[in-house]
Amino acid sequence: MTAETNSLFEAVVSQINAACERLNVKDAYRLRLGKCERELTTNFPVKMDDGTVKIFTGFRVQHSDSRGPAKGGIRYHPDVTLDETKALAARMTLKTAVANIPYGGAKGAVICNPELMSQNELERLTRRYATEISILIGPESDIPAPDVGTNPQIMAWIMDTYSMAKGYSIPAVVTGKPLEIGGSKGRFEATGRGCTVIAKLAAKQKHMSLEGATVAVQGFGNVGSAAAKWLAREGCRVIAVTDVKGSVYNSKGLDIEALLNYRNGAGGGFVIGFKGGEAMGNGNAKLANAELLALPCDILVPAALENQITAANAAQVKAKIVVEGANGPTTPEASKILYDNGVYVIPDILANIGGVIVSYFEWVQNIESFFWEEEEINDKQRRIMTNAFTEVLEISKAEKTDMRTAACMLAVKRVVAAMSTRGIYP
């Protein structure tokens, strides 16, 4: 978090309030959107492999369920906080509303470093955390999914733990599961693939062809690597990628398929050491990230963590289009600088909705016990994302505002409509 933003959650609320003001939303709804409906903090013990016991802290936050069951991923990260979890939950409320799928917003997290834990330790931590949050989650109330630091296997443990407590299998309690236990085809790459759908639509607005367009990707995890892969297949020239340990740059374009094979094999999960390019930032990962954000390119995909583009470096961004693959990679102050400089930013609540859309498909398939082919899933995802982009674009043009404000306005309008229709109980 940077000095310019005291709270990640407050930053999201400020965007919501700005949208409420433009829409003349009543104070009652604005105040409700400025708070999370439920916040659970749990401190729980986990037995480590060496026999010691450690206490871990976890969260599960539901921001809003006005439009349907709460939906949101679970993050395992050493620096995650309750404030960050609340912000991510609020962003999920906005995302699901922009996508116009019948969900609200939630998020979960555990303060831990999964890279320093064995599989057995991760399983014990996950099963205990799942038990702690079981008072909130469920296929009709709150459906978790993978996020930073978690994966399909962790979702499988959560599904199994929840099912054992109920006495029968309940696949629909989580999404992003392995295919063997009810996962959906196309889910693993859905967010990154969706970023490509949005990039293509954004490029059309800028009269730019993706064929030969230069791309830089910050973060080569699930989202960033999939975005790089699909953008390359569209004819883009991916010139640089970074991850937490290193970077690789090639002005002529990286062989993304070869890079993926290297990362998944000899690279041990990272890009450092790949021979198809050179390291940036003199081999320093932090400097490489800063250098990547300032690279002259057509499309920049920040797909790492929050607050990467700030007031301190926004003026250095030379990309024509920014497609936010991560959640909250741009601070409000930086967003204004980019807009003033003519950078076309597609915000996270529109750019990375591909994951939650296919999570919704997985949930529907689990409930119906009927599964779709990947081609059908990809087609449905593309149509929903195209509709969402078109609706946001229309608001942006009508209101003469940036795509972030327009997306937030669309989301707030839909959530407020649900709140108004439902009323207040009792």
**What does the DSSP assignment read for 252-296?**
T---HHHHHHHHHTTTTTS-TT-TTSB-SGGG-HHHHHHHHHTS-
Domain boundary among 346, 365, 391: 346
- Please, which residues have CB within 8 angstroms of residue 157's CB and are 6 or more apart in sequence? 123, 126, 127, 130
Whichever domain contains 157, its CATH number is: 3.40.50.10860
Amino acid residing at 231: L
In this structure, the answer to whether residues 144 and 46 fall within a common structural domain is yes
What does residue 188 show for φ and ψ, rounded to 5 degrees?
A: -60, -40
- Please, which residues have CB within 8 angstroms of residue 236's CB and are 6 or more apart in sequence? 210, 211, 212, 213, 214, 215, 298, 299
Question: Rg for the chain (alpha carbons), in Å?
Answer: 21
The residue behind tokens 């469920």 is 138
Whichever domain contains 208, its CATH number is: 3.40.50.720
In this structure, the answer to whether residues 162 and 194 fall within a common structural domain is no
159 in any annotated domain? yes
In this structure, the answer to whether residues 289 and 261 fall within a common structural domain is yes
Range name among 150-159, 162-171, 328-337 with the lowest pLDDT average = 328-337
In this structure, the answer to whether residues 225 and 123 fall within a common structural domain is no
Q: Which residues are catalytic?
A: 107
22 in any annotated domain? no
In this structure, the answer to whether residues 80 and 228 fall within a common structural domain is no
In this structure, the answer to whether residues 113 and 216 fall within a common structural domain is no
> What is the tally of structural domains in the chain?
2
Q: 105-121: per-residue pLDDT in tens? A: 999 999 999 999 999 99
46 in any annotated domain? yes
267 in any annotated domain? yes
Distance in angstroms (rounded) separating the CA atoms of residues 246 and 234: 26
In this structure, the answer to whether residues 233 and 285 fall within a common structural domain is yes
In this structure, the answer to whether residues 144 and 199 fall within a common structural domain is no
Other residues' Cβ atoms within 10 Å of the Cβ of residue 424: 8
Domain boundary among 346, 375, 400: 346
- pLDDT for res 161: 98
Q: 262-321: per-residue pLDDT in tens? A: 999 989 889 999 999 999 988 888 899 999 999 999 999 999 988 899 999 999 999 999
Give the E-state strand segments of 308-366 in sequence order: 321-323, 344-346
Parent domain of 266 = 190-346
pTM: 0.94
In this structure, the answer to whether residues 144 and 221 fall within a common structural domain is no
In this structure, the answer to whether residues 128 and 253 fall within a common structural domain is no
Domain boundary among 318, 346, 374: 346
Q: 235-244: per-residue pLDDT in tens? A: 999 999 999 8
